[in-house]
Amino acid sequence: MTEQTARICILGGGFGGLYTALRLVELDWEESQKPEIVLVDQNDRFLFSPLLYELLSGEIESWEIAPSYEELLRNTGIRFYQAMVSGLDIVQKQVYLQDGPEIPYDRLVLALGGETPLDMVPGARSYAYAFRTLADAYALEERLRILEESNKEKIRVAIVGGGYSGVELACKLADRLGERGRFRLVEMGDGILRNSPEFNREAGKKALDERGVWIDLETKVESIAADSISLEYKGVVDDIPVDLVIWTVGTRVTHAVQNLPFKRNNRGKITTTPTLQVLDNPNIFALGDLADTLDAEGKQVPTTAQAAFQQADYTAWNIWASLTNRPLLPFRYLHLGEFMALGVDNATLTGLGIKMEGTFAYIARRLAYLYRLPTLEHKLKVGFNWLTRPIIETLSS
């Protein structure tokens, strides 16, 4: 490695981190300026989380949405370490890993994402299931398999949270369990999908009603036990028998991020400038769930996969600009619409003047997410599998 070679370390291999790394490789570097890029993640696989629900309904296979970093980074020149971050020295510009090497950097990207808090009510950590990671999906799948193979006449499921995750999970699992499932959706607010377009709220309510999902509004979870959930509604607490509780409420920065020495907001998120640089630390960039960012127009950037996709492009460009003496670009968030899965082969699409529900929206969602998958090679593999699977299933039936 020559003295001129810049060292870029990216912590977190989700939408923000992985896509920043892949975009950096594509930029127009002079041969003498090509950087050394290191990507660190605690898992060995990337997760395309918007399609995680389809694992539970059997509509997709795990390799399609969770390719290994080894596969994705092959022939890119990006070095990958599977490790936990144990510390950071911003003076010496060093990243410390558990059971891994010390990594020096000239530019650092923080994209470690968030986690679902399971300590908000008594019993949640012991008895509730989160739904954010591939491991969460596998654990939930195993619990569902046990319940389906039991002699229970009805399988009683409580889903906490009436946002996108809660509604999408309720619809997918209701389609999976059919008449055997008994579902209730618990929401503290006075309506589901409160931050969503009215079209989505109405479509979500309709989909839940069609599947017989009971909706508990203005209801607080008091505690969770092995076979029950305690709910408070207008001062009255009821113990409801359940076989499965899924928790979808809230997000917080990971433990590794909580220990980093940066200015943060009241939710623990790291404050950045509109160019996605950490405040008072211009060599460090932050994006995704852990970042508190106002865009070029002074608007709060949402912590969504769509925003992280866009931030990755800007982060890569601004790192390149900072290393090649070019002006940096303030982030401009463009809301491109929203998809919502409402059961098997059904979805909604809202945005850019379009409102759509049903099979066509489901197909549009699939195509949009196929386009967003990392690397052309993986897109082609998944697209070919989606095209041929119905033919194979028809011939084998």
Structure tokens of 195?
A: 């931050």
Same domain, 130 and 237: yes
In this structure, the answer to whether residues 312 and 261 fall within a common structural domain is yes
> Per the structure, how many domains does the chain have?
3
**In the beta sheet, which residues pair with residue 128?**
245
Shared-domain flag, residues 130 and 214: yes
Residues 150, 136: Cα–Cα separation, whole Å:
21
Query: Does residue 71 fall inside a structural domain?
Result: no
The boundaries of the domain holding residue 21 are: 7-42+83-115+252-323
On whether both 147 and 217 belong to a single domain, the answer is yes
Question: pLDDT (tens digit, 0 to 9) for every residue of the chain, 397 residues total?
Answer: 445 689 999 999 999 999 999 999 999 888 888 899 999 999 999 999 999 999 999 999 999 999 999 999 999 999 999 999 988 999 999 999 998 889 999 999 999 988 888 889 999 999 999 999 999 999 999 999 999 999 999 999 999 999 999 999 999 999 999 999 999 999 999 999 988 889 999 999 999 999 999 999 999 999 999 999 999 999 999 999 999 999 999 888 777 777 777 777 767 789 999 999 999 899 999 999 889 998 888 999 988 889 999 999 999 999 999 999 999 999 999 988 889 999 998 999 998 788 999 999 999 999 999 999 999 999 999 999 999 887 877 777 6
Looking at the fold, whether 134 and 210 belong to one and the same domain comes out as: yes
Same domain, 213 and 303: no
| Token code pair at residue 33 | 């300026």
In order, the DSSP letters of 269-321 are PEEB-TTSEETTEEEEEE-GGGEE-B-TTSPBPP-SHHHHHHHHHHHHHHHHH
Domain stop point among 229, 247, 265: 247
Q: What is the pLDDT of residue 234?
A: 92
Half-sphere exposure of 360 (CA within 13 A, CB side): 5
Q: Tell me, yes or no, whether 138 and 219 share the same domain.
A: yes
The answer to whether position 61 is within a domain reads: no
Cα–Cα dist 162/215, whole Å: 9
Looking at the fold, whether 239 and 318 belong to one and the same domain comes out as no
CATH number (domain holding residue 21): 3.50.50.60
180 and 225 co-located in one domain: yes
Decide: helix, strand or coil at residue 95: strand
Does a structural domain hold residue 299? yes
Please identify which residue in the block is written with the tokens 């989160």: 130
Q: What is the pTM of this model?
A: 0.91
Contact indicator for 35, 5 with CB cutoff of 8 Å: yes
Is 330 contained in some domain?
no
Asked whether residue 285 falls in the same domain as residue 172, the answer is no
- The confidence score (pLDDT) of residue 341 equals 94
Among 261, 290, 323, residue at a domain's last position: 323
Residue 143 domain-assigned (yes or no): yes
Distance CA 286, CA 276 (A): 6
Residue 77: strand, helix, or coil: coil
Show the tokens assigned to 154.
């009805």
Question: How, if at all, do strands 103-104 and 94-97 pair?
Answer: antiparallel
CA distance linking residue 287 with residue 290, whole number of Å: 6
Note whether 111 and 256 are same-domain residues: yes
Token couple for 105: 């950097």
Side-by-side strand order, sheet with 79-82: 79-82, 36-41, 7-11, 107-110, 281-286, 277-278
- Rounded distance between C-alpha atoms, residue 124 and residue 118, angstroms: 5
The whole-number pLDDT of residue 183 equals: 97
Listed in sequence order, the DSSP H helices in 150-280 are 164-177, 198-210, 255-258
13 is a domain residue: yes
| Residue where one domain finishes, among candidates 228, 247, 266 | 247
Tell which residue, 325, 323, 312, 252, has the closest CA to residue 276. Answer: 312
Report the distance separating Cα 181 and Cα 204, nearest Å: 18
Give the pLDDT score at 253.
Answer: 78
Would 280 be classed as within a structural domain? yes
